[in-house]
Structure 1
Amino acid sequence: MLPMSNVSSSGTPMAASPLTRAVLEIDEYAAGRGWDQPARLFALVDTAKLRRQEPRLAGQLGLDQDDAGKAQLTPIEQDELPAGTPLDKFLGTVAWPDAVVGCALTVERLMLPPSAEASVPTGLNDKQLAKWVAAHPERQEVRLTVGVLRDGSRESAVRLREKDSASEVLTGASLVPGLADALAATFS
């Protein structure tokens, strides 16, 4: 947990990188919508460039003009992901215009502790494995928020449903490497 002197009123660490701040902003936004939500995809744009090139849109988004000199990222939620399409297949269809400097995704999943890996039955298809995980007594419901930039930077935030508090969100660049790889591939 961060000391309160290093945390803004929104719960975002003040000393964090722009990508960390954006990922935590998206996590906070998703938390405000509650649990059992669909995955959400966000474009990340340079806030200062957005203000210069699209001042009307920046005004609609309520971007603070006082921060114009700071390097910031503004998350812009994209259309809802198509229902029934596997996430990896959907991400394989995404391409971003040059104005988008990064992207982020928030998605809810069930996770098991590493100690449960040895007990996973072999030969299960994806549907059977999902059912087995859902029934496991040590499963944890989590919200994963992962962001990547064109320059290769990555950040993740993990929120456990049982510890649903901004002060309990875990962050790190390599917490969800597979999802970060899939998001980075949208810039290839």
Structure 2
Amino acid sequence: MGGVSTPPSPDPADDVRAARALADAVREIEHHVAGAGWDAPVRVFALVRTRAALASEPGLAEQLDPAVLAAAEADDWHLTSVEQEGLPDAQDLEGLLGGLSWPPTVDGAAVTVERVVLPPEAEADLPADPEQALTALLAHPARQDVRLAVGVLRDGPAWCALRTRAHDSDDAVGQGPDLVPGLVAAVRATLD
């Protein structure tokens, strides 16, 4: 028979380790950002596999905590987040994310953003005019301030963390792979 070879099947255990590493990185990012308090700007992070980053830049080891180095030694999927400074000016989050792209050396990306949300029944009563709607939203008694942290791996899993100002505690952070599907898709598009 002919010599057609098929690529090896992805290792399901590798997928599980990647998902766990991403969830850990997103939790760490959310915790880090929470330490700075509320009313913060959008923050963007590159996610890189720590062991690969150390191999290409050995001097990085001097900047990392010994616990991070040990974790990277134990798991080649361990991720390090690198906050991006000097982000381009953008009118909104969609514009910012639409202008970002990552080199192949970046394994994933994460973003944190704060939003004001209302229960669906309250949204129906907002004025049609955007400025009036914003004023009504900010004054509404049922409004909730939330911080979203969303991370994705290139061609891989996503993870989200959500903290409300009303329940601002590390043990009250909601988590899951698809809490904000639109934002997950927008962050994933930066990796295409």
Q: How does 1:63-78 map to 2 (within 5 A)?
A: 64-67=68-71, 68-70=73-75, 71-78=77-84
Q: How many pairs does the alignment contain?
A: 171
Residue aligned with 1:52, SS: helix
- Aligned partner of 2:129 in structure 1 is 124
CA distance in 2, matches of 1:82, 1:110: 23
Q: How far apart are 1:148 and its partner, in Å?
A: 0.8
For 2:46, give the aligned amino acid: A
Q: How does 1:31-180 map to 2 (within 5 A)?
A: 31-62=34-65, 64-67=68-71, 68-70=73-75, 71-82=77-88, 85-121=91-127, 123-125=128-130, 127-180=131-184
Q: 4+ runs of 1 displaced by more than 3 Å?
A: 80-84
TM-score (norm 2): 0.82
Q: Are residues 177 and 108 of structure 1, via their aligned partners in 2, closer, same or farther at CA, if it must alter by over 3 Å?
A: same
CA distance in 2, matches of 1:94, 1:83: 11
Contact 1:104 1:147 in 2 (8 A): yes
Q: How far apart are 1:65 and its partner, in Å?
A: 2.7
Q: How far apart are 1:106 and its partner, in Å?
A: 0.5
1:23 aligns with 2:29: no
Q: How far apart are 1:175 and its partner, in Å?
A: 0.9
Residue aligned with 2:141, SS: coil
For 1:66, give the aligned amino acid: A
CA distance in 1, matches of 2:89, 2:22: 28
CA distance in 1, matches of 2:146, 2:112: 10
Query: Where does structure 1 lack aligned partners over 5 or more consecutive residues?
Result: 1-15
Answer with 103-112 or 129-138: which moved more: 129-138
1:184 aligns with 2:188: yes
Q: How far apart are 1:137 and its partner, in Å?
A: 1.1
Larger-Rg structure: 2
Query: Where does structure 2 lack aligned partners over 5 or more consecutive residues?
Result: 1-18
Q: Are residues 93 and 117 of structure 1, via their aligned partners in 2, closer, same or farther at CA, if it must alter by over 3 Å?
A: same
Q: Deviations over 1:4-61 (max 9, x none)?
A: xxxxxxxxxxxx7111111110010011111111110000000111121112123213
Contact 2:114 2:146 in 1 (8 A): yes
CA distance in 2, matches of 1:82, 1:134: 27
Q: Are residues 80 and 37 of structure 1, via their aligned partners in 2, closer, same or farther at CA, if it must alter by over 3 Å?
A: farther
